[in-house]
Every structure is written in structure tokens, then in C-alpha cells.
């Protein structure tokens, strides 16, 4: 089984990827929903780290000085990914994450973990991006701490749909910051891989659901 298919099955079994009718913040009614806040066990975190590590190795992104996980969801992701890179691939890499509010006592500072220095290469580990707003905070913050090179952004799912403009959040990040995004899976891959396939004894994307997802992508996709 490919790591992509195994990841999709983990999302379904963890109730992270669900199917039905969901009204999004944008007002769009989507036939599927991704809620990464439903990951909550050690097994899920361990497997999640491995899937991020698999994606990083597949794209040759491991040659960096540190992984950075934006608070809050990026924090456990960056730690789990660093552990998986070492345990599965023997790749030792630093990790760090930010505090939402800078600490003015004790060791102080904005970052926890590895402290950035000029010339460092940084790989950002995030869950999903539905708009470029998170990167609008993250990129300037990292650049203010040191003269770093952000080599990429690894996310779990690329929803492949338009944002406020005619481009997707992934395309917007590339356009604004020149940062390439590497999703573990895309919506297209989810449709093509899980259509007619049983996960936990149930077919989650039958012909009717596939049609709804195709229609949604036709209306809002890029």
C-alpha cells in the first residue's frame, strides 16, 4: 500500500476526513470536510509523522536546518515529523515552533526549540491551508528572526479550490512568497484512490459521493 493511500485511510478512520454536507466559512457547501483537530492518540501522531516524513523524503526536502511548526496545530506535527525522519530514515533534523505571545521572562523569545540563525534553511510543517492568511503571519515572523531561506511548506491535504481570487491557497503562497507547497495528498488523489474502496468495512466514496465531489471541484476547483 502506498503511503498516500495509507494516509487517506488514517484520516477516514480518525474521523478527520468525513463525507456528507458541510457549510464552510466561505459559505460554500462541500461534500467533504477535513478536520485535523480530531487527531488525538499517540498512534495517530506517530503515523502522521511518518506520512509527513515520507512526503519530505519523496520530494528530497530533508536537507534543511530545521522544521518549523506554526502554533498551534503545526507544533505536534513538526515534532512528530522530526521523530519519524530520525526513526524511519535516520535523518537528524532540528525542530522549532513559535509562541503565540513572546515570552519576556526565563529564556524569553518567540521560538521554542531550535533557534534560527542567518543562512538557515527552514521547512514549514502545517496541517491544511485554506487561505494564505497563516503564511502572511508566519513568513514575516521567520524572516524577522533571522535571514533564513524557507525551502517549502508541507501540508496534509491540498483542497485544490479557489480562494478569494482565481487561485488556490497553495498557488497564492507560491505567488506571494515564492514558497512551493508539498501536500501529502490532494482532493483529486482522494477521489481517484478511495472511489469504490472500503475503509473500515464501508465504502466512503460511492458513485453518488464521487459525483458530488466532482461537481464541487468543477464549480470551485483550480
- CA gap 9, 23 in Å, rounded: 24
Query: Which positions are annotated as active-site residues?
Result: 103, 105
DSSP state of 116: P
Q: What is the pLDDT of residue 153?
A: 97
Who contacts 200 (Cβ-Cβ below 8 Å, separation ≥6)?
9, 12, 13
60: left (phi over 0), alpha (psi -120 to 50) or beta: left
pLDDT, tens digit, for every residue of 24-78?
887 889 999 999 999 999 999 999 999 999 999 999 999 999 999 999 899 999 9
What is the torsional sign of CA 6, 15, 71, 153?
positive
| 132, pLDDT greater than 70 | no
**Domain boundaries, position 31:** 3-220
Which of 220, 144, 134 is CA-nearest to residue 181?
134
Distance between first and last Cα of the chain: 28
The count of domains in the chain is 1
Phi/psi at 153 (5° precision): -130, 125
Question: Peptide bond preceding 222: is omega within 30 degrees of 0, i.e. cis?
Answer: no
pLDDT, tens digit, for every residue of 158-215?
999 887 778 888 888 898 899 999 999 999 999 999 999 999 999 999 999 999 999 9
Burial per residue of 35-49, b for 16 or more beta-carbon CB atoms within 10 angstroms, e otherwise: ebeebeeeebbebbb
User: Average pLDDT, stretch 102-109?
Assistant: 58
Q: How confident is the model at residue 107 (pLDDT cuts 50, 70, 90)?
A: low
| 106, pLDDT greater than 80 | no
pTM above 0.95, yes or no: no
Q: What is the pLDDT of residue 3?
A: 97
Q: What is the CATH number of the domain that holds 92?
A: 3.40.50.2020
Amino acid at each position: 500500500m502506498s503511503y498516500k493511500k495509507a494516509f487517506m485511510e488514517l484520516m477516514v478512520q480518525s474521523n478527520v476526513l468525513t463525507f456528507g454536507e458541510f457549510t464552510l466559512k466561505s459559505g460554500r457547501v462541500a461534500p467533504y470536510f477535513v478536520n485535523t483537530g480530531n487527531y488525538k492518540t499517540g498512534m495517530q501522531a506517530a503515523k502522521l509523522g511518518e506520512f509527513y516524513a515520507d512526503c519530505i523524503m519523496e520530494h528530497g526536502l530533508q536537507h534543511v536546518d530545521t522544521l518549523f511548526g506554526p502554533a498551534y496545530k503545526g507544533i505536534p506535527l513538526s515534532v512528530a515529523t522530526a521523530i519519524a525522519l530520525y526513526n524511519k530514515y535516520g535523518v537528524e533534523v532540528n525542530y522549532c515552533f513559535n509562541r503565540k505571545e513572546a515570552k519576556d521572562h526565563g529564556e524569553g523569545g518567540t521560538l521554542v526549540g531550535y533557534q534560527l540563525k542567518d543562512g538557515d534553511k527552514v521547512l514549514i510543517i502545517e496541517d491544511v491551508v485554506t487561505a494564505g492568511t497563516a503564511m502572511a503571519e508566519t513568513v514575516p515572523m521567520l524572516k524577522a528572526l533571522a535571514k533564513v531561506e524557507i525551502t517549502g511548506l508541507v501540508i496534509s491535504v491540498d483542497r485544490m479550490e479557489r480562494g478569494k481570487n482565481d487561485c488556490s491557497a497553495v498557488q497564492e503562497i507560491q505567488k506571494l512568497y515564492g514558497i512551493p507547497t508539498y501536500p501529502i495528498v490532494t482532493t483529486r488523489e482522494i477521489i481517484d484512490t478511495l472511489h469504490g474502496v472500503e475503509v473500515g468495512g464501508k465504502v466512503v466514496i460511492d458513485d453518488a459521493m464521487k459525483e458530488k465531489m466532482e461537481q464541487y471541484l468543477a464549480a470551485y476547483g483550480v
